Chains A and B, each alone.
Chain A
Amino acid sequence: DADVTQTPRNRITKTGKRIMLECSQTKGHDRMYWYRQDPGLGLRLIYYSFDVKDINKGEISDGYSVSRQAQAKFSLSLESAIPNQTALYFCATSVLGLAGADTQYFGPGTRLTVL
């Protein structure tokens, strides 16, 4: 969805380096998420934020940190990258849907390779 953008789209880095993945959205949604996806598996939630001053750990937050700089921006950092963090990373936003629960909108993904 073009309303959710991620930078960079691809990144190759070395073990021990600090990496930041950025997400921006123009949907005006308060809720934002970071997921990772490994080959053949579903998405796993890393962190989520329901508004600018709210940060919550997800299923697999160890080794990651986030910053919610504004309603539209949510960044994911790997303080010291390791090879098993090689994965496809997705940012998402959500809004309460007509049916009564959140509908999530995903960005195009960032493919991160840690050597």
Chain B
Amino acid sequence: LAKTTQPISMDSYEGQEVNITCSHNNIATNDYITWYQQFPSQGPRFIIQGYKTKVTNEVASLFIPADRKSSTLSLPRVSLSDTAVYYCLVGVMEYGNKLVFGAGTILRVKS
């Protein structure tokens, strides 16, 4: 089970680009990297998922270097509504292989 390490918290201002890095040194060959966002008292919401290189969707980009030992979630031009907890998960949900939500990164966006 790949252990992940993320910063506990980050602060940013509206309109800035925010990059949150997740370390996962023991990632396995068939593991994927998935990021979720959670607002207080709500269930997590899927943001983005990738295996290698770069993935981009309408809300974020995910950068994964060749060795896959880390990944970076990039949020372009954040707004106050992006204030939330962001979780990095590494693995696949299969029998005996449980995805683990760590403590996540608390992102605070200020005006």
Interface residues of A (CB under 8 A from B): 1, 4, 31, 35, 40-45, 48, 50, 56, 58-59, 88, 90, 92, 94, 97, 99-109, 111
Asked if B55 lies at the interface with its beta carbon under 8 angstroms from chain A, I say yes
Question: Given the complex of chains A and B, what is the CA–CA distance between A104 and B50 in angstroms?
Answer: 14
Which among A1, A42, A59, A101 is the interface contact of B93 at CB below 8 angstroms? A101
Contact in complex: A104, B51 (CB < 8 Å) = no
Interface residues of B (CB under 8 A from A): 32, 34, 36, 41-46, 49-51, 55, 87, 91-93, 95, 98-104
Which among B42, B92, B103 is the interface contact of A101 at CB below 8 angstroms? B92
Contact in complex: A88, B46 (CB < 8 Å) = no
Q: Contacts A58-B98, A99-B32, A102-B93 hold; do A107 and B103 have CB atoms under 8 A apart?
A: no
Question: Given the complex of chains A and B, what is the CA–CA distance between A42 and B22 in angstroms?
Answer: 15
In the A-B complex, the 7 residue pairs with the smallest Cβ-Cβ separation, listed nearest first, are: A106-B43, A101-B32, A42-B101, A43-B101, A99-B49, A102-B93, A90-B43
- What is the interface of chain B mostly: helix, strand, loop, or mixed? loop
Residues of B contacting A35 with CB < 8 Å? Answer: 101
Other A-B pairs, 7, CB within 8 Å; known A100-B32, A103-B46: A42-B101, A44-B101, A45-B98, A56-B95, A88-B41, A90-B44, A102-B99
Q: Contacts A31-B93, A42-B87, A42-B103 hold; do A100 and B46 have CB atoms under 8 A apart?
A: no
Contact in complex: A59, B102 (CB < 8 Å) = no
CB distance from A68 to the nearest CB of B (A): 15
